[in-house]
Amino acid sequence: MGTAQQINTYSRTLPFIEIMDSTLRDGEQTNGVSFLPHEKLMIARMLLRDLNVDRIEVASARVSEGEKEAVQMICRYARQINRLDSVEVLGFVDGHASIDWIADCGGQVINLLAKGSQKHCVQQLGKTPEEHIADILDEVRYATSKGIAVNLYLEDWSNGMKDSPGYVYQLMDKLTSGGVKRFMLPDTLGIMNPLQVIEYFRKMMKRYPEQHFDFHAHNDYDLAVSNSLAAVLSGAKGLHVTVNGLGERCGNAPIASVQAILKDQFQATTNINESQLNGASRMVEGYSGIAVAPNQPIVGENVFTQVAGVHADGDTKDRLYYNDLVPERFGRKREYALGKTSGRANIAKNLEELGLELTSEQTRRVTERITELGDKKEIVTQEDLPYIVSDVLKHDAPEDKVKLLSYVVSTAYGLKPGANIKVEINGKQYEASATGDGQYDAFVKSLRYIYKKYLNRTFPILQNYQVSIPPGGRTDALVQTVITWNNDGKLLRTRGLDADQTEAAIKATFKMLNIFENEQTNNE
């Protein structure tokens, strides 16, 4: 059967695909990433409870006391929700030490690391295949006696199939009846292409048709997703992924991309709750400190933003520029960027969402102004539109309902930063002071106090805070602060620009407060 025919056949008969997320183990091997125990617990909760992955690999055995604490916390939580068998820990052929460590943590599954290539077995371990097989079987027997299930990694399996397939088959022949639940086949060095994955997986499936095979891809040639899909098309029952593609060197297959392609391109079935993919991405981005590229499929900031005006025009004419990756599916929404290539259709879409109605001539004039700003590399957001409209149409700018009258922020060695503020809200003046972890944190705590004590209202939650130099700017010029707010489930992103970082954040804050205040007034 040719490759094209094979793909067509599998795409019609794809089974359920089990997803194992390794963000907390393999993902933590990303350079510079180290999760605290409570961070690991929060990510594990998101993966199991919200995203609903089938399994999570949470650590390597015997790494540190902090790692042990994290595994114990995750196991306690997983037991409470009856998902303890979904928690897995990487362990080693080390005379039962890893198994004892996992048992002491309360774990029930070990992902045992064996050597999947003859080079690794002979040159790294200094053992014969027979000796290595005997050691593996001894570990499996001991784990079984402790009530721990065993999945087996064949490390460097891709090179094993390439250089020493006889060795791989020798291992498999001896281990298939030894109590191993899953055989996990990694492309440890990220050397494979999809055609090789199909070839090698077909050989494994032909010799061992009753076994459960997982595939674990690395992205050194930017083929992790493609190789994962090739493995599924060739009979793999499980795939290993990480959130945002975190992992050693170039990373692993990102869960969002794998999920979308499995469902849309091959009609495969998984348990993944797609609406939580973006939330998981944001959480891991925050804890890891590794920013997601704006154009990262599914979870990147810009992937549901239409920039060209012709695309916005097409969207109004029977969704001509839509595909199956609709943002609502992933808990997001489509946006239309404002800039020099926006065109009237893009701007009309933004005006429509804001409830602003302009004539064709007025829209043309607003478009010209936004194009002019775009040529100067100015960033224009949807929240800027009412002010641009007012300026272009020679109207008075909307009067701020929330005004900052005065403030003092301070910091001193050995003391917590403080803030004293005086604001005016709907014509009434209020004062407050507070301390915080930083000057801006103290400033916001003062505002929260005013809103709670004097207005009996909740203050929007700060969800994300980014500081950067504006595009085209210089390090000694302006600072741009972009803050994402959550007000009863509604997200709003505002921007402040100033030479001082705290001042820029304050500007973004008051822009947000005025937007929400105007909305509340309109709803009353």
Task: Return d(Cα 18, Cα 55) in angstroms, integer.
Answer: 8
Question: Is 361 one of the catalytic residues?
Answer: no
Q: Which residues contact 132 (CB under 8 A, 6 or more apart)?
A: 93, 114, 115, 121, 125, 171
- Please, are residues 518 and 506 in contact by the beta-carbon 8 Å criterion? no
Report yes or no: 107 and 75 within 8 Å, Cβ to Cβ: yes
Q: Residue 101, Cβ neighbours under 10 Å: how many?
A: 23
Q: Is 25 a catalytic residue?
A: yes
Residue 120 structure tokens: 């690794």
Query: Which residue in the block uniquely carries the two structure tokens 């599914």?
Result: 298
Catalytic residue among 18, 25, 67, 182: 25
Nearest-angstrom CA–CA distance, 375 and 359: 24
For the chain, helix (H) and strand (E) counts, in that order, are 18, 16
- Among the options 28, 155, 335, 383, which is catalytic? 155
How many Å from the N-terminal Cα to the C-terminal Cα in the chain? 68
What is the residue-wise DSSP string for 181-228? SEEEEE-TT----HHHHHHHHHHHHHH-TTS-EEEE-B-TTS-HHHHH
Backbone angles phi, psi at 492, to 5 degrees: -140, 135
Residue ranges with strand state E in 32-186: 55-60, 87-92, 109-115, 149-155, 182-186
* Helices 165-175 and 194-207, packing angle to 10 deg: 40
What residues are annotated to the active site? 25, 155
